[in-house]
Amino acid sequence: MSERHHKIVIIGAGAAGISVAASLMRHAEGKSLDIVIIDPAQTHYYQPEFTLVGGGVVKLDKTRRPMKGLIPDGVPWIQQTASAIDPDSQRVSLQNGDIVAYDYLVVCPGLVLDYDAIEGLRQALGKNGVCSNYSPDYVEYTWQCIQALKAGDKAFFSQAPLPIKCPGAPQKIAYLAADHLRRQGILADCELHFTSPGPSMFGVPYFAKALVEVADGYGIHKDLLHKLVKVDGEAKKATFEIVDGEHKGELKELEFDMLHVAPHQTTPAFLHGSAISNEAGFVEVDQHSLQHVKYPNIFSLGDACTTPNSKTAAAVRKQSPVVVQNIKSLIAGESLVGRYNGYGSCPLTTARGKVMMAEFIYGGKVTPTLPYIAKPNVGSAIMWQVKTKFLPLLYWNYMLKGYEKFIEPQYDYDIEE
């Protein structure tokens, strides 16, 4: 067992951890900051492209890069799993027993997939038509399942209870599948269901309304208030619980030929019961400053913190500069002025070649970046290019390189327009 000390310790080298580390290193004083990053993963994934892998648009290989090449120069990488945080003694314990002490801590280990929250799911995944875009292990199988659908088949696309990564992703793949079936001339002969425990298609009413029309246009059944609770892969049966309304508590067992599952998601185990987390295991931060509510030298961003935004890499793109600015101010003894406004973005793939670019801030206010190019609630061919070409470029070459000053205006959009 060894103990070391660093001024700034970052837990997690995902979208958030790499962006913050790279951005801190871009500042003139970065090199003197003594930053370290902790993450056990060998591979870094650009997860927003998983939808396109499942939809047969890009290959899985394109979504991943070796972690080694992404950790910024001058930042040591501790390839270990954080197993506990003691905020009073300012120490992080690692799985191998080592201790890393810090002056400032950034916590961003993302979410883990909780397969066991759905009975039978773990055993069922990857065969018998049961797939998931949420894991690189099963995302390629999604496209195989879609291609295998034939006239008369039934396909289900299930959404897990929130919070999950990219809450729009479970329905994005339903539209890509429906579009594929339409191109094959068999859409009308298949039965497609989008199932969600939520009461509407999307958290922001402006987009929810438009998505009802998209689903109806394909003839997709919208089974709202339906929570997937059990999968029997061998028998090809899925059980849904009705979570509200007059049939609350009833179970429905339905046969499927394909079942795309968004598994339940939670924070990594070390955050559950931690002094820095809420009861659900999310790091409790102020939703604007991203500073911990009790421990001023701790910040959190990305999927693992309590901010009530849509959990997306797009959100991380706006959160990272705030964390960087506020840590720098704290070190300099200045007041914290960096404020995150809740921006999140969900590029909804309404068809192969069309994206409805949902962008919004806290309170569900619609704030498109390019309103003069496409109406935000309409599937657009240009936005498809933005999603498939521009955003991956932005991620790998700007965001993960710490160019946080990348100019991106947001417009207050009048939804009556």
Ligand X SMILES: Cc1cc2nc3c(=O)[nH]c(=O)nc-3n(C[C@H](O)[C@H](O)[C@H](O)COP(=O)(O)OP(=O)(O)OC[C@H]3O[C@@H](n4cnc5c(N)ncnc54)[C@H](O)[C@@H]3O)c2cc1C
Say how far apart CA 157 and CA 92 lie, in whole Å. Answer: 39
Shortest separation between residue 138's beta carbon and ligand X, angstroms: 11
Q: Which residue is nearest to ligand X (CB)?
A: 14
Of 178 and 315, nearer to ligand X (C-beta) is 315
Q: What is the DSSP letter of 334?
A: P
As measured in angstroms, the least distance from the Cβ of 290 to ligand X is 12
Which is nearer to ligand X, 220 or 304 (by Cβ)? 304
C-alpha 294/C-alpha 40 separation (Å) is 28
Known active-site residue 346: yes
Question: Which residues in this chain contact ligand X in the complex, by CB under 6 A?
Answer: 11-17, 38-41, 47-48, 50-51, 81-82, 108-110, 133-134, 165-166, 169, 268, 270, 302-304, 311-314, 316, 345, 347
Q: Which of residues 134 and 141 has its CB atom nearest to ligand X in the complex? A: 134
145 as an active site residue: the answer is: no
For residues 300 and 286, what is the distance between their CA atoms, to the nearest angstrom? Answer: 9
Which residues on neighbouring strands pair with residue 210, listed in sequence order? none
Secondary structure of residue 40 in the 3-state scheme:
coil
Instruction: Provide φ and ψ at 199, rounded to 5°.
Output: -90, -10
Nearer Cβ to ligand X (39/257): 39
**CA angle, corner 263, sides to 257 and 269, nearest 5?**
155
Q: Which two tokens stand for residue 254?
A: 């339905």
Query: Considering the complex, what minimum distance in angstroms separates the CB of residue 253 from ligand X?
Result: 27
110 versus 342: smaller Cβ distance to ligand X: 110
CB nearer to ligand X: pick between 242 and 315: 315
d(CA 379, CA 346): 12
Cβ of residue 190: shortest distance to ligand X, in angstroms? 23
**Which of 123, 185, 131, 184 minimizes the C-alpha distance to 157?**
131
What letter would DSSP give residue 115?
A: G
Strand boundaries in 263-314, DSSP class E: 264-266, 298-300
Cα-based distances in Å from 236 to 121, 132, 155, 252: 12, 15, 11, 14
Tokens of 333: 């003894």
165 closest CA partner among 109, 221, 223, 226:
109
Which of 131, 166, 190, 305 is flagged as catalytic? Answer: 166
**Set 131, 145, 305, 346: catalytic member:** 346
Rounded Cα gap, residues 104 and 297, in angstroms: 5
- Judged by beta carbon, residue 300 or residue 325, the one nearer ligand X is 300
Minimum distance from CB of 137 to ligand X (Å)?
12
> Which long-range contacts (C-beta less than 8 Å, at least 24 apart) are formed by 67-74?
67/13, 67/39, 67/41, 67/42, 67/43, 68/42, 70/13, 70/18, 70/44, 70/400, 71/13, 71/18, 71/21, 71/37, 72/18, 72/21, 72/22, 72/25, 72/402, 73/25, 74/25, 74/30, 74/31, 74/35
Catalytic residue ranges? 166, 346
